[in-house]
Structure 1
């Protein structure tokens, strides 16, 4: 089953300071000369509010000169306002508002800086997606004021925080904002503290390890959540936040100076702002220190012109989910079905590109995740298999979605319980389901395959794969055959083998093997009929390689190499003929997006995702954009975004 990488990764939030929350700074006057604000960050970068529910005031941190004036563009949603002196966002939303990036500008006599906040207002509250902290494994020195440890929450706004067990003596958590402050007064052994963030819908948790030592200890293991960002001129950047452990960092610095428009918060290490000039790929070194020592991390930053392409936020789903399916309907809407959020889901919803909004539709009869979904010739959607809550619960049931009625009906059951299978619409209208994982996991990967006949609503066994496999890919070739390649075998090993299904004979035959074994990779069929396989997991690490299958020769050949190794990502053929690869994981979840150019056989990086994510879906819309939805990142995501 897929891996919950985000739980093992430091998903780092920003930290604010007490002076920053009041609009002040740590370097107001140097030798009698004022300094401009710098390192500006809002406490909650991407809240999803609800109509009629007062928001928790969203304050800012600023490590530069004192703020004297604030402004925001475009105007905030109705009912919300920005304090012109300290940049705090407050109020009660008065109406629904689409997900929008707002640029907050803070200034004084010496200059100005910017930051972003993404706000959406829904008609009703939705659950929070996730919760974490900048300092999630930290050693504080006794009897010294800590830098306030501020949470980052995603999804529906969190309105109440609590912690268990009680924090070390001298430390306290703000029940409204979740900020941890104070002066630890006694040496305390390392212990795990569970912070719970809740709203009226649901709750999420973050695990913190806190120790109080007699003296300061040095920080260790500094990394940034996005170590390879590509930013777009004029577009406010998603906060780039540091992760570290060991002693608390009290000062950050960077060399060389960041490109114009970007700045570093010297207290929290967060990089924010709006780049104003183009920058070729450049490596920057961030040094983080305290009285006991320092640690250094490097970040490679590119700033590109706007025409390169990039992502913009779209409205969030009403339910965070991963291991779901997304299907483009004939009318241009996108059906997202089931998946997982703490447990398997039966909910479904529709995205309307013309309205940029999600609406709930009928629930499935059975909760399921890691299932398949196929658009049938008559416009209905066939969902089959998957598994319920917990492992070893593969399903044989199948359901049909009617987009006209907005409802589901049961259809014939699979002959074999399975999840993580592929489903391919054949030219004659039947659906080929191949491989997957069997009931209980005791069967491991499956070699069986079945055909669904939409006329009779029944399944029938067809020829078996030559190799049991799951988490593979399947592609309908121009001659009507189906290419199945890679995946994971019965023993959990990654596969390089590939085979072809011939609908005319109902048989499988081997074809050329990939140059590299790959599981949890992505595949896309190019405009010339060849199939691009990219990234994946070879059993020991994520891959940066990609290769092409030529149906004419039945062979694979290596092509350009990704800049970022990844698995559990997506690959989407664009109208331009290029292939967009987005997100995934390489031990930690990714923002990085790349484009494959068939003419040159090479990859180029483009503007990163708004949200880091893996195990999401990517759907090419009728208008040509790509909708990325859900997945795992800073929690199980409700956020969606559009590549344009």
Structure 2
């Protein structure tokens, strides 16, 4: 029994050591394991104000929406449990409205099933929420906010330069995919010009002049990514179609890069095909989409965040064709127009959140690890890797353990095995 345990430990060390030391490459990066989120879940939403990252709602089983809320302080290395929201919800959004000093939680979903297509979520008991609520970051209390005109989930929200909040598209259990948009001015909602076509799980950004770009997504009837793109310019007061993307992309990653353009990465294509490894960037001045180098892995439902030095990190996600989740992280350099692997975090996941810190690092929170909800939280450090003494020690320890296992312990175990076969034990 002792020998069996010894061999099990040996195998574990051989497997884990390469995973722990995998973070790195040409880009100086490290991963610090943070305390687990108290209640594992996915399809939640995260938003940062100051040093704290607030996490609202989600689901642990894909059927039951949650009202729970928590806050993470990565520097203090601790979670704080907060009061529950008034309504359980998943697949909602949360945005910090600085002028109000409050976070507004918008819409969401209650019910069962994975709502990829309209037919998946139109059953009895499924609800697309129109309700909204405020969370005051000073008092840590929830209060009712004016409701949307149309309930929705998997929608996109953006704060505009004037401080108002724009909600676009999404899914509704009665109407299907939505083209309608609504604008919240801090007091109430009003109608905003609708998208030219109904869209859900699309890419979008707001330019400094208040113009809005929308690209990709799908129509809720078939799981095929769209190539089409639309631009809203405040001076025109309406949407107009711009050049389409080179690939149709549903549920892609996206980030606006000042001085470079709008990056859209990965996304699902169509049934029976892998997700995209490709990415492209929209140059507004020329109305053209320019292909970047490819990512290493096909993925959709991944997180994207801009680092302090103006690059983009993508993390996690899934491949629709295989259903497998990713733990890999990659970074896009807009100057080189290239992608580079920067290692892996510990738990592969999709439907988690990736949130930037004030230092330009990134925090990965929760998600679905292919067959279960995880509360794992990890901090990806770009700004000051030298400060992560514990991670450096752990990586060096595992590296030494791996070499010790390969060159000393493993040969000794083989000799023991041969001697036993020859009758010496």
TM-score by structure 2 length?
A: 0.80
**Of the candidates 43, 49, 52, which is equivalent to residue 333 of structure 1?**
52
Matches within 5 A, 1:86-97: none
Cα pair 1:529 1:551 within 8 Å, conserved: no
**Of the candidates 381, 385, 388, which is equivalent to residue 107 of structure 2?**
385
**Of the candidates 574, 593, 597, which is equivalent to residue 329 of structure 2?**
593
Match of 1:308 in 2: 28
3-state secondary structure, aligned to 1:464: coil
Cα pair 1:424 1:431 within 8 Å, conserved: yes
Match of 1:553 in 2: 286
Match of 1:471 in 2: 201
Match of 2:135 in 1: 401
Cα pair 2:31 2:345 within 8 Å, conserved: yes
User: Structure 1 residue 370 and structure 2 residue 91: aligned?
Assistant: yes
Matches within 5 A, 1:151-550: 263=14, 271-273=15-17, 304=24, 308-329=28-49, 331-342=50-61, 343-378=64-99, 379-390=101-112, 391=121, 392-440=126-174, 443-454=175-186, 456=187, 458-492=188-222, 493-540=224-271, 541-550=274-283
Q: Which runs of 4+ in 1 moved over 4 A?
A: 18-22, 274-277, 302-307
1: distance between equivalents of 2:212 and 2:332? 23
Q: Give the direction of change, closer, same or farther, for the CA distance of 1:305–1:429 in structure 2 (3 Å limit).
A: closer
Pick the structure with more strand per residue: 1
Q: Give the direction of change, closer, same or farther, for the CA distance of 1:602–1:389 in structure 2 (3 Å limit).
A: same
User: Structure 1 residue 625 and structure 2 residue 369: aligned?
Assistant: no
Q: Give the direction of change, closer, same or farther, for the CA distance of 1:20–1:505 in structure 2 (3 Å limit).
A: farther
3-state secondary structure, aligned to 1:517: coil
Q: Give the direction of change, closer, same or farther, for the CA distance of 1:306–1:533 in structure 2 (3 Å limit).
A: closer
2: distance between equivalents of 1:508 and 1:303? 43
Match of 2:372 in 1: 635
Cα offset, 1:341, TM superposition: 1.3
3-state secondary structure, aligned to 1:610: strand
Give unpaired runs (5+ residues) of structure 2. 113-120, 382-425
Cα offset, 1:630, TM superposition: 0.5
1: distance between equivalents of 2:182 and 2:291? 32
Cα offset, 1:553, TM superposition: 2.0
3-state secondary structure, aligned to 1:631: strand
Q: Give the direction of change, closer, same or farther, for the CA distance of 1:274–1:538 in structure 2 (3 Å limit).
A: closer
More relative contact order, 1 or 2 (CA 8 Å, 6+ apart): 2
Cα offset, 1:529, TM superposition: 4.6
Cα offset, 1:490, TM superposition: 3.9
Cα pair 2:243 2:289 within 8 Å, conserved: yes
2: distance between equivalents of 1:543 and 1:637? 25
1: distance between equivalents of 2:221 and 2:106? 24
Cα pair 1:312 1:610 within 8 Å, conserved: no
Cα offset, 1:275, TM superposition: 8.5
3-state secondary structure, aligned to 1:410: strand
Cα pair 1:308 1:607 within 8 Å, conserved: no
Cα offset, 1:600, TM superposition: 1.0
3-state secondary structure, aligned to 1:565: coil
Cα pair 2:34 2:74 within 8 Å, conserved: no
Cα offset, 1:388, TM superposition: 1.1
Cα pair 1:435 1:449 within 8 Å, conserved: yes
Cα pair 1:337 1:346 within 8 Å, conserved: yes
3-state secondary structure, aligned to 2:109: coil
2: distance between equivalents of 1:430 and 1:273? 49
Cα pair 2:153 2:172 within 8 Å, conserved: yes
Pick the structure with more helix per residue: 2
1: distance between equivalents of 2:191 and 2:135? 23
Cα pair 1:414 1:459 within 8 Å, conserved: yes
CA deviations on 1:285-327 (whole Å, 9 max, x unpaired) are xxxxxxxxxxxxxxxxx78569631322111111111111110
User: Structure 1 residue 566 and structure 2 residue 285: aligned?
Assistant: no
2: distance between equivalents of 1:349 and 1:336? 5
Cα offset, 1:21, TM superposition: 5.6
Cα offset, 1:397, TM superposition: 0.6
Cα pair 1:477 1:551 within 8 Å, conserved: no
Cα offset, 1:479, TM superposition: 2.2
3-state secondary structure, aligned to 1:500: strand
2: distance between equivalents of 1:276 and 1:324? 27
Match of 2:342 in 1: 606
Give unpaired runs (5+ residues) of structure 1. 1-17, 27-36, 42-114, 116-262, 264-270, 278-301
CA deviations on 1:124-176 (whole Å, 9 max, x unpaired) are xxxxxxxxxxxxxxxxxxxxxxxxxxxxxxxxxxxxxxxxxxxxxxxxxxxxx
Cα pair 1:335 1:350 within 8 Å, conserved: yes
TM-score by structure 1 length?
A: 0.54
Cα pair 1:310 1:608 within 8 Å, conserved: no
